[in-house]
Amino acid sequence: MNTIKAYYLYPDIQCLTAKIINIYGEYIELDSTIAFPEGGGQEGDHGEMCLKNDPSIKINFIDTQLIETSKINNINYPDCKIGGKIIHKIFSEDLYLLNKFTTGDEVIITINTDRRNLLTQSHSATHVMYMAIDLLKSDIVTHILGCHIKPQGGRLDFLTDYRFSQEEIKIIEEKANSIILDNIPTPIEVDPKYPDVRYWICGDYKIPCGGTHTKNTGEIPLIKISRKSIGAGKERVLFQWK
């Protein structure tokens, strides 16, 4: 049974009543969750759960993961995965409370909204940084090696021997912050057949992405961009909040 991804259905709520489907060691699986799992470079949500019939019994979770997904062939969305189960990793100091929770129990799950909001801004900022890099040197963005999106900022790694100069980094930063200040709407397009297949849209850019995002670029704080060499044939461009 796939987990209902309530974070897509109700993106602005911070708590939800759900039922425990299974407990795997230090992980709890619910029938529905508002906790976004790690994916697309974005770190998983943190939060807490309490028993609906006894809210005093409460445990914290420090990670959220998506497992047992299905892969579909989509020429516009490489390595696209849909469905799956979402599991919540319980904080080690709360594991002694797990015996209070049983399959079938109803719980109230609450996410850390401050952290989620920062991750949402970081994810959108990563796309904006990608756009700014593309506008300067479009051949680089086709060689993305990976990314990491955290509350404090994000990074893009490229498979290339090219090294950005400090002047180029300054140009990328100025362009990215210009896009932010332009307050451009960034709607999400959902595939009618596969609701997990989503696209982030900003102007002429349409980027495959199932992460959490701001409604427009103006909701993103201004960013400071830098670069780092991470070995032969690799280049990292990263940002943090100004």
pLDDT digits (tens, 9 = 90+) for 28-43: 999 999 999 999 899 9
| Helix, strand, coil percent values for the chain (each to nearest 5) | 25, 40, 35
> pLDDT-derived band of residue 75, with 50, 70 and 90 as boundaries?
low
CATH top-level class for 115-241?
Answer: alpha beta
Retrieve residue 145's tokens: 């090696």
Residue carrying the six token digits 């990793």: 89
Task: Encode 78-105: b = buried (16+ Cβ within 10 Å), e = exposed.
Answer: eebbbbbbbbbbbeeebeebeeebeeeb
Q: Region 220-228: what's the mean pLDDT?
A: 98
C-alpha span between 160 and 16 (Å, rounded)? 44
Residue 73 pLDDT class (50, 70, 90 cuts)? confident
Q: Would the pLDDT of 51 be above 70?
A: yes
The pTM of the full predicted model, rounded to 2 decimals, is 0.95
- Reply yes or no on whether the pLDDT at 80 is more than 90: no
pLDDT at residue 139 tops 70:
yes
Q: What is the DSSP string of 45-61?
A: P-EEEEETTEEEEEEEE
In the chain, where the domains are located: 4-111, 115-241
Architecture per CATH, domain 4-111, reads as: Beta Barrel (2.40)
Given a contact cutoff of 8 angstroms between Cβ atoms, the answer to whether 40 and 211 are in contact is yes
Average pLDDT score over the chain: 96
Confidence bin at 48 (pLDDT 50/70/90): very high
Percent of the chain topping pLDDT 70? 99
